[in-house]
């Protein structure tokens, strides 16, 4: 059996999202140039993967294919980041709005394995829509990362794997702390890990004040990956707004090393994620 700390840790940066704005932290990037530059700075700080949303220049979340293509091209021109596009977006987007990033030919495509209440909204991903996203990702040769916000989402992801709908090993992001999803606690981490096959590549994301604590707990449980960035955490420590995505990545690198783990290089990350 492989030791829990045998492999280096793949750090993903989520530079901007659909639910955090400059009134929450003035350093959140909006334009494609800002998102790309912030992602590249995070790469230089130790991130290997960029989890990408796009926005209009005024910060409005969107799924425009041209914006995804622009930000992916900028990132690839000036870094070795693995590019991952969301098919989540915001609750008021249609499924077709949410798949604009696939036209950018990313390395990885995210897919939600279920619907949920999301704060005061309801985020709907019907099974038919999720299956369509999987088929479109497979058609362009992209890897898939399942986004799971509660235990039922994890179970569904494993079912997809068993049915052959997605290829193994399973790659899944376990998300904690979203209002309407599973809480950020040690018991919640155990519950989300329980259904996972042994060979799963799993990453932990935690929204809000328990961000660093839950990432640390995941590292001690042998997590292959962790995610940070201004989409997830607007503070670098209590009461101190994060000055950049790179600052959050630097904190994640320090945490990883403090807990006796190594950080994956871009080449190691590609190998661990099966990206040629």
Half-sphere exposure in the Cβ direction for 52 (13 Å, CA): 42
CA-based end-to-end distance of the chain: 26
Phi/psi at 72 (nearest 5 deg)? -65, -45
Q: Which two tokens stand for residue 268?
A: 């190691």
Question: What kind and span of H or E run contains 174?
Answer: strand 171-176
Task: Encode the chain (276 residues) as per-residue pLDDT tens digits.
Answer: 678 888 999 999 999 999 999 999 999 999 999 999 999 999 999 999 999 999 999 999 999 999 999 999 999 999 999 999 999 999 999 999 999 999 999 999 999 999 999 988 999 999 999 999 999 999 999 999 999 999 999 999 999 999 999 999 999 999 999 999 999 999 999 999 999 999 999 999 999 999 999 999 999 999 999 999 999 999 999 999 999 999 999 999 999 999 999 999 999 999 999 998
Task: List, for residues 32-62, the tens digit of each pLDDT value.
Answer: 999 999 999 999 999 999 999 999 999 999 9
Q: What are the sequence ranges of the domains in the chain?
A: 10-273
Q: What's the Cα-to-Cα distance from 143 to each of 187, 208, 215, 217, rounded to whole Å?
A: 30, 28, 24, 27
The per-residue pLDDT for 1 is 64
Task: List, for residues 100-145, the tens digit of each pLDDT value.
Answer: 999 999 999 999 999 999 988 999 999 999 999 999 999 999 999 9
Phi/psi at 221 (nearest 5 deg)? -85, 5
DSSP 212-229: HHHHHHHHHTT-SEEEES
Q: Which residue blocks in the chain are alpha helix, DSSP H?
A: 32-45, 65-78, 95-98, 127-139, 151-163, 186-193, 211-220, 245-258, 266-273
CATH architecture of 10-273: Alpha-Beta Barrel (3.20)
Phi/psi at 95 (nearest 5 deg)? -60, -40
pTM of model > 0.95: yes
* C-beta separation of 110 from 87 below 8 A: yes
The dihedral formed by the CA atoms of 122, 157, 86 and 38, expressed in degrees to the nearest 10: 110
- Name the residue among 140, 153, 7, 120 with its Cα closest to residue 65: 140
């Amino acid at each position: 059996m492989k030791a829990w700390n045998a492999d280096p840790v793949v750090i993903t940066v989520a530079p901007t999202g659909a639910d955090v704005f400059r009134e929450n932290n003035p350093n959140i990037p909006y334009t494609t140039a800002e998102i790309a530059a912030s992602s590249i700075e995070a790469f230089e700080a130790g991130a290997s993967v960029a989890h990408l949303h796009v926005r209009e220049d005024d910060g409005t979340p969107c799924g425009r294919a041209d914006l995804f293509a622009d930000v992916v091209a900028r990132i690839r021109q000036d870094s070795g980041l693995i590019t991952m596009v969301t098919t989540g977006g915001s609750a008021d987007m249609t499924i077709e709005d949410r798949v604009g990033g696939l036209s950018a030919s990313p390395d990885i495509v995210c897919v939600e394995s279920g619907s949920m209440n999301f704060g005061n909204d309801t985020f709907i991903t019907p099974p038919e829509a999720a299956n369509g996203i999987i088929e479109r990702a497979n058609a362009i040769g992209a890897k898939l990362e399942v986004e799971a916000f509660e235990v039922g989402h994890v179970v569904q992801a494993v079912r997809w794997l068993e049915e052959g709908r997605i290829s193994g090993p399973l790659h899944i992001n376990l998300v904690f702390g979203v209002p309407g999803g599973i809480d950020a606690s040690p018991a919640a981490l155990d519950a989300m890990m329980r259904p996972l096959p042994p060979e799963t590549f799993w990453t932990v994301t935690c929204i809000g004040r328990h961000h660093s604590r839950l990432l640390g707990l995941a590292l001690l449980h042998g997590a292959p990956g962790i995610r940070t960035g201004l989409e997830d955490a607007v503070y670098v420590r209590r009461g101190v707004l994060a000055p950049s995505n790179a600052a959050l990545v630097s904190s994640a690198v320090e945490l990883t090393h403090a807990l006796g783990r190594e950080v994956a290089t871009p080449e190691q990350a590609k190998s661990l994620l099966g990206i040629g």
